[in-house]
Amino acid sequence: MSNSDLVRVEISAGVASVVLNRPEQRNAINPDMAAALRAAFDQIEANPEVRVSILSGEGRVFCAGMDLKSFTKGEADAILNGPHRFAGFVARERRKPVIAAVHGAALAGGFEIMLACDLVVATQEAIFGLPEVTLGLVAGGGGAIRLAQRIPRVLANELLLTGKTYPAAEMLRWGLINRVVAQDELADAALELASEIARNAPLSVTEGLALSDQLFRGQEAALWQANDSALAALADSHDVREGIAAFFEKRAPNWSGE
């Protein structure tokens, strides 16, 4: 599958539809998919016809995060630390808004991709979570540094430290998503929201988004450095090797704290 097949892009009436397209792997991010997503938004940002984008996932889920097989092959750095960081997306400075249309699950890096979007529409059945802690990892694609900026710290800590999953209704209550809809209404609901944005003055939208982003962007440079330190501390640990091995062997991990 070519990079262009891994992320599909269609443009109509000022709205770009961007679809993660590795359904057999639950749209897990490997280096090729990160490169494809980065290229897709390079094109969108450069295209004056596009006012707003909708990011969704093909198949049963939105995105299950990093492809752990890529992690075991030593490809994590290309996924986490390439241009715009995780998935070629999460640290990108964009002038055009992106709506995440989430169904099935947004887990780990998939949740972090959602957090990097500007608005979120989700189905009633969708689940959300940061299970990295159950694997000996940390939410290093923006989850750890962004959650406490957006929701109360105690709620952010619950997500980060338990590894549990939560329903869409809970994410709505916490203010992390905009709308919850029925499964068969997701595409229409996301398009309706996108169309409401696309019909407005383009410069007003881009400048409004830039102002909205400024507070978070100003704080994030130092936070990304702390994020990188946390990733480095875990990268060669016994526990991360044990956590990944236990995941593939479908057993409980034996943590050592080292």
- Token digits of residue 67: 């492809």
Q: Which domains does the chain have, with CATH numbers?
A: 3-184 (3.90.226.10)
On average, the pLDDT of the chain sits at: 94
User: What does the pLDDT read at residue 46?
Assistant: 97
Contact 157, 136 (CB under 8 A): no
User: What does the pLDDT read at residue 2?
Assistant: 47
pLDDT tens string 130-185: 999 999 999 999 999 999 889 999 999 999 999 999 999 999 999 999 999 999 99
Number of H helices, E strands in the chain: 11, 9
Rounded average pLDDT over 82-105: 95
| Short-list 149, 84, 90, CA closest to 118 | 90
Count the alpha carbons within 13 Å of 30 in the hemisphere toward its beta carbon.
Answer: 18
Q: Which residues are part of the catalytic machinery?
A: 112, 132
Percentage of the chain exceeding pLDDT 70: 99
- The CA distance from 223 to 247, in Å, is 29
User: What does the pLDDT read at residue 136?
Assistant: 94
pLDDT tens string 237-251: 999 999 999 999 999
- The CA distance from 69 to 148, in Å, is 30
pLDDT tens string 176-227: 999 999 999 999 999 999 999 999 999 999 999 999 888 777 778 788 889 9
User: What does the pLDDT read at residue 176?
Assistant: 98
- Token digits of residue 139: 């939410």
- The CA distance from 110 to 2, in Å, is 21
Of residues 62 and 74, the one with the higher pLDDT is 62
User: What does the pLDDT read at residue 3?
Assistant: 54
Residue with tokens 């808004």: 97
Strands 98-102 and 52-57: parallel
Rounded average pLDDT over 82-98: 93
